[in-house]
Structure 1
Amino acid sequence: MKEKKLRSQEWYGRKGKDGFIYRSWMKNQGLPHHLFEGEKPVIGICNTYSELTPCNAHFRELAEAVKRGVWEAGGFPLEFPVMSLGECSIKPTAMLFRNLASMDVEESIRANPMDGVILLCGCDKTTPSLVMGAASVNLPTMVVSGGPMLAGWFKGKKIGTSDVWRFAEQYKKGELSEEEFVAAEAAMSRSRGHCAPMGTASSMAAMVEALGLALPDNATIPAADSRRKVLAHMAGMRIVEMVKEDLKMTDILTRKAFENAIMVNAAIGGSTNFILHLLAIARRIGVELDIEDFDKFSANIPLIANIQPSGEHFVEDLFYAGGMPAVMKEIQNILHRDLITVNGKTIGENIADAACYNRDLIGTLEKPFKPESGIAVLKGNLCPNGAVLKPSAATPSLLQHRGQAVVFEDIDDYKRRIDDPELDVTPESVLVLKNVGPKGYPGMPEVGNMALPAKILAQGISDMVRISDGRMSGTGFGTVVLHVSPESAIGGNLALVRNGDWVTLDVPNRSLMLEVSEEELEERRTSFKSMNLGYDRGYVNLFIQNVNQAHEGVDFDFLVGASGPEVKRDSH
């Protein structure tokens, strides 16, 4: 069989003026002519390195490890930068720019001479944005994650990002001094890497491993561990073989692969943000997936990995206990094990020899750490298109609850009034936050796990039912209903909730109801006025005009569906 011509040769294999131009300027980097003669696949290393993205600040070194692997396997590595999204500092929220970064990735890959791609990503939105963009081009592609940071230590105990919420409450109540608060701040982020618990970053790394887009152990090797560089080196070697095999993303990202990812996310108590990102990826690659699938395929899967925020330990510890292969082996009988992955082996082959080395970290289906895990998808008149809640991070006694609404019209209203001693709130109240959805903020920020009112914390209460059309950090916890769709900013029923309305949450029956008649809701709707957000130009205006709702993945309507890697006309 005739070997397929390398895509990069559409550039470097040209004769005459065009080939001269494509090759000559590249040679100013000291690259010899034989690299352009068509025998070595060009591997693009898509790098989200940035000092403004601390989780990814070690990616220069990781890229060098990938390059060593590519060279060893006979490839030609070329690194290129794309927009980097630093969750901890970017304003107003990294989610606002996920789609922009995905466009950067898609067009960078499509427009440049590469035959295969390594995606270097770590911080929360960098993984989905890179995978979304690459999926729209569909070349042989592999993900190398940056890895979790080592757990911090404070007052003799391990700490991680989930402890931020606890420290904030203790500081608010005067149980932690200013000096202790600053000391904890310095102690928490003690190494390179992304968040130490099973937050969104690690959930995304687990997602790509479960999908088959990354090598085994990609999700859990700590960033500071030398084995992270070894994995990057091996990925560099393997991507060259993937190009020769023409193993593309569509070969790996099948409907069953997405089902596997949902089941694995349940077993690890992964982030609720996982839903938005997996939906967006599925729509880019052309796989039918809807919000009900997240409930259907995780409903009977308990918490297998004892990792914060749903459990007790950290992702670093999970690696030492056997990593994702060991977790997946515990649920192997319900996984689709015959699916191909980037290393050329099936899921079943990749986990066949996996072993658990610590039963305090990895449980079994018969003896899990918590019976409830996964994602509960709620429906009702408050969320006709769905809302989500993570049972493993919630208070069991609040999973069935009826209370009166305490309403905050937007995040600024919440910040002004939440600690007001006159706030009419009790532990039985339901906190409702409006206008923090995809369009309403805009960008759907991680404010859904609202800090409790000071007067409630003073009573020793640590959890209340909270409802919003926003998101929650993957490191957060509590009885928090998120992603209410349609959002309040476009006139969803959440916009019509008033102080004192009775709200009923029934997670076992997957219901969220506002105890207001349809007639009354219609009457209230006549006085609804959409917010004027004041954005009439630029990217934010584009976002508001074109973004889909939460149950659709919050992608742009014009980006849904792949369009392939074809090279069109030259400019020369």
Structure 2
Amino acid sequence: MTADRRSSQWYAGTDRNAYIHRAWMRRGLPSHAFDGRPHIAIANTASDLTPCNSHLDEVAESVKQGIWEAGGVPMNLPVVSLGETLVRPTAMLWRNMAAMATEEMLRANPIDGVVLLGGCDKTIPSLLMAAASVDLPAVVLPGGPMLTGTFRGVPLGCGTDVWRLSEEVRAGTLSEQAFLRSESSMIRSRGHCNTMGTASTMACVAEALGTTVPGLAGTPAPDSRLLEGAHETGRLAVELVERDLRPSALLTRGSFLNAIVALAAVGGSTNAVVHLLAIAGRLGVELSLDDFDRTGAGVPLLVDLQPAGRHLMEDFHRAGGLLAALREVRDLLDPDALTVTGRPLADHLDEARIWDETVIRPRDQPLQEAAGIAVLYGDLAPSGAVIKPAAASPELMRHRGRALVFDSIEDMHARIDDPDLDVDASSVLVLRGCGPKGYPGMPEVANLPLPAKLLERGVRDMVRICDGRMSGTAYGTVVLHVAPEAAAGGPLGLVRTGDPIVLDVEARRLDLDIPPEDLARRQPSEAMREAFAAPSRGWERLYVDHVMQANRGADLDFLVGSSGDAVARESH
């Protein structure tokens, strides 16, 4: 056994402990599996209850083949899997738990490197947070988007068209029967959402960070090339161990700025903001909310994908994928930021080409000139809030309207379709109590439904403000991640129905137009406070006590920073 191999701490030697470790693993493994070969974990988020990741066991088999071929020993390691569509109250409540559990299992076991196999929204972020914390050589393998389904001859965007069609039902322009018939067409194949939602965004972000095989992100889940890429990823994991290339050396500030450029160019999900901030926090990389505005706001939107555009991920892959889009903004990238290949990301762009300019636009023909995440400050967001201009209505980017306040998600559901609701198209819908502490877990509710009475009149967008998140597949003029949240004493908790609110995205402002002395005299509403989460035990209690605000990535305060891969004590 190679003495400097981490796994040799378990397997090398002739004493009782080494005997036990080897003997219990000798269930088909040959003796030469312990002769110094790198042991590679496959952190596998496959689960039937995470439908978007249900195919990952098959993908893991190709990873194993690549690891064996390169001289390593593969070890399947099932880890916490979070299915965005099923878990309640919200998958984000357990992102930090999944990251912490994966970190501890990677540290506790005799492995030298890891393949991070994820797909659905929170799985890739939690895996990257874990890898950053334990700092073992790691490579990401995204599970890929589903193929495009159609209904009545029209392509369906997973997620995005759910929101659109459900609003049409509420507006009376689509029958409930037709809506339900579309259900079996929405999910055509294995894989995650086929829009540029959070899952697709985080796959692209992982590639822009340099943590995947370049060109692999966005490969459709049923495409044979995903299995080819999985085999290559397995080989690469062994090479990373041999080169001792760890996340702490690979992921620099330049890597994160490249990810922000990619996020803007593809019109990616706002959820990437909290995930990137959390990953950077685990590494000690300096990254703030303002970096998303400074680096990304002026980047042109080049990818015409739902929800910001028309096409879907299968089209994006066919048109050239992420590398083709990044080649158009190469001058905005850090030329020295490395990838897991050992070469800079920029070096992998030479052969990239756009094969369909209706899907990926050339730099001089963007969908929008400047469409990256905008960061707002003001009376209502002292620590910041974000808006995605690419998914918003241009005419609402500068707006003044009367607040209509909902004290909780339940309050919103109870009143939003009330025909007597005092609301018009110029109103600003405010939903609070949905931040990291308040709900808890910061659910995807910021794109709250429009009042039925306005939908019936043809209104399809309004300014909405929330301390929660929204799905990456959603759209609209939505200000979200407001910090501090209402449950942390933020001024959003003091807004009253009828207060004038001013949104000015160009000026980066979100303000409450009332005298400061009037605001200072106010107390938070009792209904809002009664709706806040107050868990007495378990993970929710730990989460509420220690979660940081959205502008800090909503990680737990005691998980910031890396603990490394050392195990303090022997088990026998």
TM-score between the two structures when normalised by the length of structure 2:
0.98
1:156 maps to 2:153: yes
Shift of residue 254 of structure 1? 0.1
- Of 365, 369, 383 in structure 1, the residue corresponding to residue 367 of structure 2 is 369
The residue aligned with 2:448 is 450
Aligned residues of 1:302 and 1:372 also touching (Cα < 8 A): yes
Q: For residues 316-337 of structure 1, what are the alpha-carbon distances to aligned partners after superposition, in whole Å with 9 as ceiling and x for unaligned?
A: 1111011111011000011112
Q: Distance in 1 between matches of 2:226 and 2:278?
A: 28
The residue aligned with 1:73 is 70
1:570 maps to 2:567: no
The residue aligned with 1:13 is 12
Shift of residue 431 of structure 1? 0.2
Q: Distance in 1 between matches of 2:372 and 2:188?
A: 30
State how 1:411-426 maps to structure 2 within 5 Å: 411-426=409-424
Q: Distance in 2 between matches of 1:150 and 1:133?
A: 30
Shift of residue 136 of structure 1? 0.2
The residue aligned with 2:119 is 122
Shift of residue 160 of structure 1? 1.3
User: Per the alignment, do residues 526 and 321 of structure 1 end up closer, same or farther by CA in structure 2, a change over 3 Å counting?
Assistant: closer
Q: Distance in 2 between matches of 1:291 and 1:533?
A: 26
The residue aligned with 2:43 is 46
Aligned residues of 1:127 and 1:205 also touching (Cα < 8 A): yes
The residue aligned with 1:113 is 110
Amino acid at match of 1:44: A
Q: Distance in 1 between matches of 2:243 and 2:149?
A: 43
Q: Secondary structure at the match of 1:98?
A: helix
Aligned residues of 1:430 and 1:464 also touching (Cα < 8 A): yes
- Of 116, 129, 133 in structure 1, the residue corresponding to residue 130 of structure 2 is 133
Aligned residues: 568
Shift of residue 530 of structure 1? 4.1
Q: Secondary structure at the match of 2:75?
A: strand
1:209 maps to 2:207: yes
Q: For residues 524-555 of structure 1, what are the alpha-carbon distances to aligned partners after superposition, in whole Å with 9 as ceiling and x for unaligned?
A: 03777844533110000000000000000000
The residue aligned with 1:224 is 222
Shift of residue 178 of structure 1? 2.5
The residue aligned with 2:174 is 176
Q: Secondary structure at the match of 2:330?
A: coil
The residue aligned with 2:553 is 553
Aligned residues of 2:406 and 2:430 also touching (Cα < 8 A): yes
1:242 maps to 2:236: no
Q: For residues 119-167 of structure 1, what are the alpha-carbon distances to aligned partners after superposition, in whole Å with 9 as ceiling and x for unaligned?
A: 0000000010010011101111000000000111011111112111110
Q: Secondary structure at the match of 1:404?
A: strand
Q: Distance in 2 between matches of 1:367 and 1:482?
A: 29
Q: Distance in 1 between matches of 2:299 and 2:524?
A: 44
Shift of residue 179 of structure 1? 2.4
Q: For residues 274-301 of structure 1, what are the alpha-carbon distances to aligned partners after superposition, in whole Å with 9 as ceiling and x for unaligned?
A: 0000000000011011100000001211
- Of 16, 28, 31 in structure 2, the residue corresponding to residue 30 of structure 1 is 28
Q: Distance in 2 between matches of 1:133 and 1:459?
A: 49
Q: Secondary structure at the match of 2:226?
A: helix
Amino acid at match of 1:545: D
Q: For residues 14-34 of structure 1, what are the alpha-carbon distances to aligned partners after superposition, in whole Å with 9 as ceiling and x for unaligned?
A: 32100011111111x211222
Q: Distance in 2 between matches of 1:265 and 1:173?
A: 33
Further displaced range: 168-177 or 5-14 = 168-177
Aligned residues of 2:493 and 2:524 also touching (Cα < 8 A): no
Q: Distance in 2 between matches of 1:172 and 1:541?
A: 37
User: Per the alignment, do residues 527 and 51 of structure 1 end up closer, same or farther by CA in structure 2, a change over 3 Å counting?
Assistant: closer
Amino acid at match of 1:229: L
Further displaced range: 175-184 or 114-123 = 175-184
Shift of residue 429 of structure 1? 0.2
Q: Tell me the percent identity.
A: 52
Aligned residues of 2:493 and 2:525 also touching (Cα < 8 A): no
Amino acid at match of 2:472: G
State how 1:156-305 maps to structure 2 within 5 Å: 156-161=153-158, 162-305=160-303
Q: Secondary structure at the match of 2:497?
A: coil
Amino acid at match of 1:557: D
Further displaced range: 217-226 or 122-131 = 217-226
Q: Distance in 1 between matches of 2:289 and 2:521?
A: 30
Q: Distance in 2 between matches of 1:405 and 1:347?
A: 46
The residue aligned with 1:507 is 505
Q: Secondary structure at the match of 1:45?
A: strand
1:401 maps to 2:399: yes
Shift of residue 571 of structure 1? 1.7
The unaligned stretches of length 5 or more in structure 1 are: none
Q: Distance in 2 between matches of 1:172 and 1:123?
A: 28
Q: For residues 161-214 of structure 1, what are the alpha-carbon distances to aligned partners after superposition, in whole Å with 9 as ceiling and x for unaligned?
A: 211111001111222223211221110101000000000000000000000000
Amino acid at match of 2:563: S
Amino acid at match of 2:547: V
The unaligned stretches of length 5 or more in structure 2 are: none
User: Per the alignment, do residues 302 and 4 of structure 1 end up closer, same or farther by CA in structure 2, a change over 3 Å counting?
Assistant: farther
Amino acid at match of 2:567: V
Q: Secondary structure at the match of 1:46?
A: strand
Q: Distance in 2 between matches of 1:339 and 1:490?
A: 37
Aligned residues of 1:216 and 1:324 also touching (Cα < 8 A): no
Aligned residues of 1:491 and 1:530 also touching (Cα < 8 A): no
Q: Distance in 2 between matches of 1:567 and 1:33?
A: 25
User: Per the alignment, do residues 513 and 4 of structure 1 end up closer, same or farther by CA in structure 2, a change over 3 Å counting?
Assistant: farther
Q: For residues 419-439 of structure 1, what are the alpha-carbon distances to aligned partners after superposition, in whole Å with 9 as ceiling and x for unaligned?
A: 000000000000000100001
Amino acid at match of 1:353: E
Aligned residues of 2:494 and 2:525 also touching (Cα < 8 A): no
Q: Secondary structure at the match of 1:119?
A: strand
Aligned residues of 2:3 and 2:12 also touching (Cα < 8 A): no
Further displaced range: 462-471 or 158-167 = 158-167
Q: For residues 310-369 of structure 1, what are the alpha-carbon distances to aligned partners after superposition, in whole Å with 9 as ceiling and x for unaligned?
A: 111011111101111101100001111222211222212211110110110111222101
Q: For residues 373-431 of structure 1, what are the alpha-carbon distances to aligned partners after superposition, in whole Å with 9 as ceiling and x for unaligned?
A: 11000000100000000001000000000000000000000000000000000000000
Aligned residues of 2:269 and 2:472 also touching (Cα < 8 A): yes
1:144 maps to 2:127: no
Aligned residues of 1:160 and 1:189 also touching (Cα < 8 A): no
Shift of residue 4 of structure 1? 7.1
Q: Distance in 2 between matches of 1:252 and 1:340?
A: 6
Q: What do you get for the CA RMSD once the two structures are aligned?
A: 1.2
User: Per the alignment, do residues 369 and 74 of structure 1 end up closer, same or farther by CA in structure 2, a change over 3 Å counting?
Assistant: same
Q: Secondary structure at the match of 1:297?
A: helix
- Of 54, 57, 61 in structure 2, the residue corresponding to residue 57 of structure 1 is 54
Q: Secondary structure at the match of 1:525?
A: coil
Further displaced range: 371-380 or 82-91 = 371-380
Q: Distance in 2 between matches of 1:470 and 1:546?
A: 17
Q: Distance in 1 between matches of 2:283 and 2:105?
A: 18
Q: Secondary structure at the match of 1:512?
A: strand
Q: Secondary structure at the match of 2:347?
A: helix
Q: Secondary structure at the match of 1:333?
A: helix
Q: Distance in 2 between matches of 1:236 and 1:514?
A: 53
